[in-house]
Chains A and B, each alone.
Chain A
Amino acid sequence: MEHKLTGIFNWRLFLSTLGVVFISEMGDKTQITTMLLAGAKPAYVLWVALGSAMALICTSFIEVIIGSQVIARYIKPETIKLLSGITFLILGTLLVFGLMGNVELNL
């Protein structure tokens, strides 16, 4: 029964995706843009939030489709695992040493 439930809804994957996406969004240029927009138009904060949330959901929809339909179809799961491990390491190194992500927006 428990196995069946985890088959339908994988909490571990759900929570780890939630955590990774949430954390990777922190200090991103998207976040800074939304902050600036919300600060610039405090009277229309609801509309800024709505636009930003919808845009993010649309982009993650596109990514999910590309990842599952294109990449997962043509590359072996083991290779994807290796590549994503290396990519995460590279991204992490670039972020730690400040070579990436330090965006200055001039709106």
Chain B
Amino acid sequence: MCIEFLTWLSTYTLIILCELGDKTQVAVLLLTSNNPGRRWLIFGASALALTLCVLIEVTVGVTLAKYIGPALINRITGIIFLIVGLVTLAQYFKLLEKFKLKKPSNAEEVANNIKYSAE
């Protein structure tokens, strides 16, 4: 086995183990369970985002971590997660409001279910 392959394999295994149960995973999990019909879109977007992340990590990341430090980066991430959480909850309560105002008739419900499963 050549050293290139060994480097690749060790990185692959290490990253898979690191990524399990991480906050990125939680975010992707929540996004897909919110939009199950668009799972391939979400997969594409997250794959693209992760690949971009890897590019940044490998090039700029080393210097960034040296000057800012992971603690501050985590704090900024936390603030963004709080905003995302608030927006999701606002959407949830809007959904409830709509449901209270206008209860869908049986025909509409069936149509929605068909649309949902078709997606």
B110 in contact (CB, < 8 A): no
Q: How far is the CA of A66 from the CA of B16 in the complex (A)?
A: 16
Q: Are A101 and B70 in contact (CB under 8 A)?
A: yes
A30: chain B residues within 8 A (beta carbon)? 15, 18-19, 22, 24
Q: Main secondary structure on chain B at its contact with chain A?
A: helix
Q: Main secondary structure on chain A at its contact with chain B?
A: helix
Are A96 and B79 also in contact (CB < 8 A) when A10-B41, A21-B46, A64-B39 are? yes
Q: Are B49 and A25 in contact (CB under 8 A)?
A: yes
Q: Are A102 and B34 in contact (CB under 8 A)?
A: no
Q: Which residues of chain A from 1 to 23 have any CB-CB distance to chain B below 8 Å in the complex?
A: 9-10, 13-15, 17-23
Q: Are A17 and B11 in contact (CB under 8 A)?
A: no
Q: Are A17 and B34 in contact (CB under 8 A)?
A: no
| A52 in complex: contacting residue of B5, B12, B40, CB < 8 Å | B12
Q: Are A57 and B51 in contact (CB under 8 A)?
A: yes
| B85 in complex: contacting residue of A25, A28, A58, A87, CB < 8 Å | A87
Are A85 and B27 also in contact (CB < 8 A) when A17-B46, A102-B70 are? no
Q: Which residue of A lies closest to B52 (CB)?
A: A22
A-B contact pairs, 11 of them (CB 8 A): A24-B81, A25-B49, A30-B22, A41-B7, A51-B15, A59-B25, A60-B24, A60-B43, A81-B88, A96-B82, A101-B78
